[in-house]
């Protein structure tokens, strides 16, 4: 059922409020997560000579901003929860934009890569095509999008106070190709475990012109 604008707004605000009110606990619970596999998956597909310009989409408290800086790249964070924005600016010593996923204001053809690690599943399903088109537009030609989301059977729900949409690979491919991306690779995480113990779907996509959209 299609949600009206006010219902959408409440859904996103509820999720942002969850992260804002639990910012310290979220930082402590995620600061030591190892996502090197995901960072390397994005960077190895970028064709631009370094340093690259990266958008960390849904950067949270800024853990991965520092990882890109250490590799010599320029990175800008984007986050909607005010407390996480403050933490990201302090932890990453980078520019961080406070924007939520329904009110994006992104520059055209600016970034070599977009790193959407554990963030796009919070976009309400009916808004996902629009958000993906905006990410397509903010990438430079042949730019690369990385995404990692908890996988599922294409259902959306409220988990505690947070909205989430959980896609399988086939459905995720449909959304991304419709937005003008071509798939470069995908894998499941954490590495080294049986598939039924890998709840995260990671995938890498290239912006192409004249496809989908």
Could you tell me the residue range of the domain that residue 172 belongs to?
Answer: 5-207
Output the domain CATH number for residue 193.
Answer: 3.40.50.150
The whole-number pLDDT of residue 213 equals 47
pLDDT at res. 210: 67
Is residue 28 in some structural domain? yes
213: in domain: no
Q: Locate tokens 């986050």: which residue?
A: 79
Residue 98 lies in a domain: yes
Total number of domains in the chain: 1
133 domain residue, yes or no? yes
- b/e burial code for range 21-55 (CB count within 10 A of at least 16 → b): ebbeebbeeeeeeebeebbebbbebbeeeeebbbb
What is the per-residue pLDDT across 95-113, written as a single tens digit (0 to 9) for each? 999 999 999 999 999 999 9
Residue ranges for the chain with pLDDT beneath 70 = 1, 210-213
Count of other CB atoms within 10 angstroms of residue 5: 8
Residue 27 lies in a domain: yes
Q: What is the model's pTM?
A: 0.95
Note whether residue 54 is domain-resident: yes
User: Which tens digit of pLDDT belongs to each residue from 34-62?
Assistant: 899 999 999 999 999 999 999 999 999 99
Residue 212, in any domain of the structure: no
Residue 56 domain flag: yes
């Amino acid at each position: 059922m299609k949600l009206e604008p006010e219902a959408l707004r409440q859904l996103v605000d509820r999720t942002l409020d969850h992260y804002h009110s639990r910012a310290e606990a979220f930082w402590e619970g995620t600061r030591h997560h190892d996502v090197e596999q995901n960072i390397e998956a994005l960077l190895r597909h970028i064709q631009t000579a370094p340093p690259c310009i990266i958008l960390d989409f849904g950067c949270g408290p800024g853990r991965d901003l520092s990882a890109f800086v250490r590799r010599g790249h320029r990175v800008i964070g984007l986050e909607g929860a005010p407390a996480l924005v403050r933490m990201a600016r302090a932890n990453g010593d980078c520019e961080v934009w406070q924007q939520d996923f329904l009110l994006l204001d992104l520059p055209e053809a600016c970034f070599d890569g977009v790193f959407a690690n554990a963030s796009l599943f919070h976009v309400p399903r009916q808004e996902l095509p629009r958000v993906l088109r905006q990410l397509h537009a903010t990438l430079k030609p042949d730019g690369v999008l990385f995404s990692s989301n908890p996988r599922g059977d294409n259902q959306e729900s409220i988990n505690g106070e947070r909205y989430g949409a959980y896609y399988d690979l086939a459905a995720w491919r449909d959304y991304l190709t419709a937005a003008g991306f071509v798939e470069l690779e995908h894998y499941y995480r954490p590495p080294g475990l049986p598939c039924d113990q890998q709840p995260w779907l990671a995938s890498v996509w290239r912006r192409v012109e004249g496809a989908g959209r």
